[in-house]
Amino acid sequence: MAGSPTLTPAIVVGVVRYGETSRIVRLATRELGLQSAIAKGVARPRSRFVGLQLLSEGTAHLLQGRGELATLTAFDPLDLHTPLASRLIAFRAASALAAVAGRAIPPAHHPEVHDALRHGIRLIEAAPEPAAEIAGLAALWRFVAALGHAPVLDRCVRDGRPVDAAGGAAFAIEEGGVLCATCASGGGATRLAHEDLQALAFLLAGDAPPPDLDARYARAHRRLLGRWLTRHVTDGPLPAVEGWVRGDDSPLGVG
């Protein structure tokens, strides 16, 4: 006899075809962390699976197998986030968030990580389109923080000395945060203005007034976050993140 399935809140962070009618889904679950599962017969007429698409949120019924691949026996949809798919800026950001989740969430019980992902998707979805840019940056940075990979901004990441950021500061992506003047004199770090550091603090934690990001400035912030993700979170580049970083160069999103 097979065991009974585990029921857990889950968000679909990846879907790939498997055979004619089945799919392998990556699920960011609340109880079991990241799980890959086969959903059999999804594409059949009268399939019992509804809304098994990228970013869908619901309750997954997971039957653990002997290997890494579980079997998804049912998915009770809660919120399919369908409106996101028709909004370019928001959808790009949410897709990047899902891709990061699909790479970086550990396969273990970390409810706070699942909750940060869920909040992030909602933050992006709730933002009117002009604000979706900032919401996307905030959702991704806060998810990074929930994963335990936030940059150090209040002291030198190399020697712990206080950093006076009033005139801006050197930001060493490789090392994971800002540098004091002495360490920065060696060069090699990205120079961030005071406003950039303030914006970053807001995006990470939201305890400052939201920054005013024009398009060029927003692109610089996306590029910074993209480099951070590649170095500290996703262990290499992800296409969905790269697409989001390139972002607004083309109104059709193909630039």
Task: Report if residue 156 touches Zn ion, rule: CB under 5 A.
Answer: yes
- Only segment of 149-157, 187-195, 222-230, 244-252 that touches Zn ion (CB under 5 A): 149-157
What is the rounded distance in angstroms from the CA atom of residue 11 to the CA atom of residue 27?
Answer: 6
Task: Report if residue 157 touches Zn ion, rule: CB under 5 A.
Answer: no
- Only segment of 134-142, 156-164, 186-194, 212-220 that touches Zn ion (CB under 5 A): 156-164
Instruction: Closer to Zn ion by CB, 134 or 183: give it.
Output: 183
Q: Characterize the bridge pairing of strands 22-29 and 169-172.
A: unpaired
Instruction: Closer to Zn ion by CB, 124 or 169: give it.
Output: 169
Q: Which of 68, 115, 159, 235 binds Zn ion (CB under 5 A)?
A: 159
Place of tokens 């960011």: 28
Strand-pair partners of 178: 171
Q: How many residues bind Zn ion (CB under 5 A)?
A: 6
DSSP SS3 for 74: strand
Burial, 64: exposed, middle or buried (Cβ in 10 Å; 0-12, 13-18, 19+)? middle
Q: Footprint of Zn ion on residues 177-206 (CB under 5 A)? A: 180, 183
Shortest gap between Cβ of 160 and Zn ion (angstroms)?
8
Task: Report if residue 158 touches Zn ion, rule: CB under 5 A.
Answer: yes
What is the rounded distance in angstroms from the CA atom of residue 177 to the CA atom of residue 171?
Answer: 5
Q: Which two tokens stand for residue 164?
A: 């006076």
Residues in touch with Zn ion (CB under 5 A): 156, 158-159, 161, 180, 183
